[in-house]
Amino acid sequence: MLDLKQDFFALFGLPTGFSVDMDRLEQAYLDIQGKVHPDRFAHLPDVDKRLSMQWATHANEAFRTLKSPLARGQYLLELKGIDPAFETNTAMSPAFLMEQMEWREALGEAREAADEEVLEDLARRIRHSNRSLIEQLAVQLDQQGDLEGAADTVRRLKFLEKLQHEINDALTALES
């Protein structure tokens, strides 16, 4: 049925690249799920049930990865043998490090003051920066082939994702 060793782009019949046609990805995912969903194999022997579960799990992981710009960027780098090294490579430009410190400080102050308006504004700024980095990553991967720059951009996106989660947690805590 499916080749579990096939890369995620090939699995969905998509060209390998950062820019992905999301409608086409979703349709390909639904087509595959229609073929491998475990409910279709419920009446078959256990071995077939386990295989369908593996296929469905693989398709789910592939879909989640390709749907997320951060995960897709990281996956493309890994396909090309590049490890973004989130834990070990913290070298960032001084401007980005300064911006990180300002955001963290603003988050801390807003959280302490329980200031929803400041948290919402910070969330908007993070989303804007995130969109800019995603556009930059698309150029680096699809047009320039700048893998080092793309790895740096993926690390920046990872930081922003973490900061966005912290802001969301702070907003949720205010609502409680």
Side chain identity, residue 132 = S
The pLDDT assigned to 2 comes to 64
| Dist. CA 60–CA 104, nearest whole Å | 34
Which of 52, 67, 82 marks a domain boundary?
67
The pLDDT assigned to 133 comes to 97
Dihedral sign (CA 96, 97, 100, 106): negative
The CATH number of residue 145's host domain is 1.20.1280.20
Q: Within this chain, do residues 171 and 101 fall inside the same structural domain, yes or no?
A: yes
Yes or no: say if 130 and 143 are a contact pair by the CB < 8 Å rule: no
In a domain, residue 72? The reply is no
Domain containing 44: what range?
8-67
Q: Within this chain, do residues 47 and 113 fall inside the same structural domain, yes or no?
A: no
In a domain, residue 101? The reply is yes
In a domain, residue 106? The reply is yes
Q: Within this chain, do residues 101 and 58 fall inside the same structural domain, yes or no?
A: no
The pLDDT assigned to 88 comes to 62
The pLDDT assigned to 17 comes to 97
Q: Residue 93 corresponds to which tokens in the numbers above?
A: 């430009």
pTM: 0.86
Q: Within this chain, do residues 39 and 102 fall inside the same structural domain, yes or no?
A: no
Q: Within this chain, do residues 116 and 57 fall inside the same structural domain, yes or no?
A: no
The number of folded domains in the chain is 2
Per-residue pLDDT of the chain (176 residues; tens, 9 = 90+): 567 788 999 999 999 999 999 999 999 999 998 888 777 777 778 887 788 888 888 999 999 999 999 999 999 999 999 987 666 666 677 888 888 899 999 999 999 999 999 999 999 999 999 999 999 999 999 999 999 999 999 989 999 999 999 999 999 998 88
Q: Within this chain, do residues 101 and 158 fall inside the same structural domain, yes or no?
A: yes
